[in-house]
Structure 1
Amino acid sequence: MIVKKRYGRETGREYALRVLKENIVMLELEPGSRISENELASEIGVSRTPIREALIELSKSKIVKIYPQKGSYVSLIDWELVEEALFMRLTLEKAVVRLACQGIEEEKIQELEKNVKLQKFYIDNNEAGELLELDNQFHKELFAITNKIHIYRLMSVMMLHFDRLRTLRTKAVDQRYVIEDHLKILEAIRNKRPLEGEQVMERHLTRYIIDEKIVKEKYPQYFEIVEE
């Protein structure tokens, strides 16, 4: 289990929530697995109360299921929720790219290019966790640059469903396309080509559709069974 250092002013609930989110997204807590409050409290270093509060919060976005008298479980990946999360992200990120194409400082673009170079390093070294973190930072910075960071934070709650799929794809599909897509997005922003930027962003975010069959065949146990 991944347990990173607690921030100085972070409450027990906030810390437990952050740790749980990361472990669910990175599949350290696998879809369908039972969650032990006692074990989590021991590993994270907090009491059961903040663990329980964090689980209740996660259940609101359906990433965790709580059954009275039975316990809590990590939800299986629900393809409908993945698609809803993608719809929201696609709508917002295309709008953000369009805003960025109106003009941002060259220094900001160069900082994002440094991020992409680091992504290449982690792809070459098969470090999926670091790659996903840098990928998230890249997109988060686009929201920050266009003064829409609060929207990003709201979006991130629903994105847990999509992010688990992203983790699976790093294990099943070559991720080098990420570098190419990000560089093309930056090229469109630098040259102030909003239509081109939106098209690249849409292609970038919808690649999961192409990879759906590969991922489901490799990890069928992680997905909700859809009744015909």
Structure 2
Amino acid sequence: MQNLQDKAYNYIYERIMNLRLQPGQQVSDLQFVKEIDVSRTPIREAMLRLRREELLYSMAQSGTFVTKIDMQKALDAQYVRRVIETAIIRTLSADIDANELDELIKIVIDQRRVAEAKLLDQTFALDNLFHKRLYQFANKDNVWQWLQSFSNDLNRYRLLRVYDENLPLTLLSNEHKRIVDALTAHDTDRVTQLMTDHLNLMLKERAEVAARFPEFFKNVPEQN
């Protein structure tokens, strides 16, 4: 059973990560007292924890704010993920079994359905699930959990990408479908290239996403 501090932390953390609390938005403990129905002490402790995790920051005589998305940190996390995930997909191209392929196919079908219906949060959740399953099928679930521990900026960026109506939602499921097809064929070189290209989408689209939501970002490097 959750204690009150964990309840407050999980509530605020989820609202930051799903962008219900937007980057740069001011927040207060009193607002969360009303929303969560707990006292100020566990909320303040939860907010202190979120400040240590750099998801909140405080300014003297101004208040507490949701930290903006640090594009450089997002790019660094994307780099680590690309190195690891291409290694995982190479391993799976030889070892993946029929049941695992069936599960990936089902995720892709569901992802395309919700993307066509413009169900944004579900599209993002299924995108995450597709990649998480790859780590689990390769017995690297701990690696996935470790990656999440420093991917807050990257994951908020990825959700914003889903929210950008100028970028096609079905592109993600289409690329996942090609990855599954290459896994089914046990084509190691092709699936590795497809995964590399898929994870490099951020490098191609980041300028457009940052331009559409400029108030949400900081430390945006110039694009070469």
Deviation at 1:88, TM superposition (A): 1.8
Of 77, 85, 88, 2:77 maps to 85
CA distance in 1, matches of 2:37, 2:145: 26
Q: Which contiguous aligned blocks of 4+ residues in structure 1 show a shift greater than 6 angstroms?
A: none
| 2:161 is the counterpart of 1:169 | yes
CA distance in 2, matches of 1:170, 1:37: 30
Question: What is the 5 A alignment of 1:115-154?
Answer: 115-154=107-146
The one-letter code of the counterpart of 1:151 is V
Which is worse superposed, 158-167 or 38-47?
A: 38-47
For residues 52 and 87 of structure 1, the distance between their equivalents in structure 2, rounded to whole angstroms, comes to 34
TM-score normalized by the length of structure 2: 0.87
TM-score (norm 1): 0.86
Q: Deviations over 1:132-174 (max 9, x none)?
A: 1111111111111111111111111222101111122112211
Q: Which amino acid aligns with 2:133?
A: E
Q: 2:5 aligns with which of 13, 18, 23?
A: 13
Report what 1:157 is aligned to: 149
Q: Give the unaligned 5+ runs of structure 1.
A: 1-8
Whether 2:195 is the aligned partner of 1:201: answer yes
Task: Flag the 1:226–1:132 CA change in 2: closer, same or farther, 3 A.
Answer: closer
Instruction: Check the 8 A contact 2:72/2:219 in 1, yes or no.
Output: no
- Shifted more, 12-21 versus 142-151: the winner is 12-21
CA gap of 1:45–1:104, structure 2 versus 1, over 3 A, is farther
Specify every segment of 5 or more residues in structure 2 that has no aligned partner in the other structure, as ranges.
Answer: none
Change (3 A) 1:68 1:147: farther
The alpha-carbon deviation at position 70 of structure 1 amounts to 4.8
Q: CA RMSD in A?
A: 2.2
CA contact (8 A) 1:13 1:54 kept: yes
SS at match of 1:101: helix
- 1:106 alignment partner in structure 2: 98
* 45-54 or 25-34, which deviates more: 45-54
CA pair 41-139 structure 1, distance change in 2 beyond 3 A: farther
What percent of counterpart residues are identical?
Answer: 28
C-alpha distance in structure 2 between counterparts of 1:93 and 1:50, whole Å? 38
Equivalent-residue separation in structure 1 for 2:39 and 2:99 (angstroms): 45
Q: Which residue of 1 aligns with 2:180?
A: 186
SS of the residue 1:158 aligns to: coil
Between 1:153-162 and 1:64-73, the stretch displaced more is 64-73
Report the count of equivalent residues.
220
State the 1:67 CA deviation: 4.2
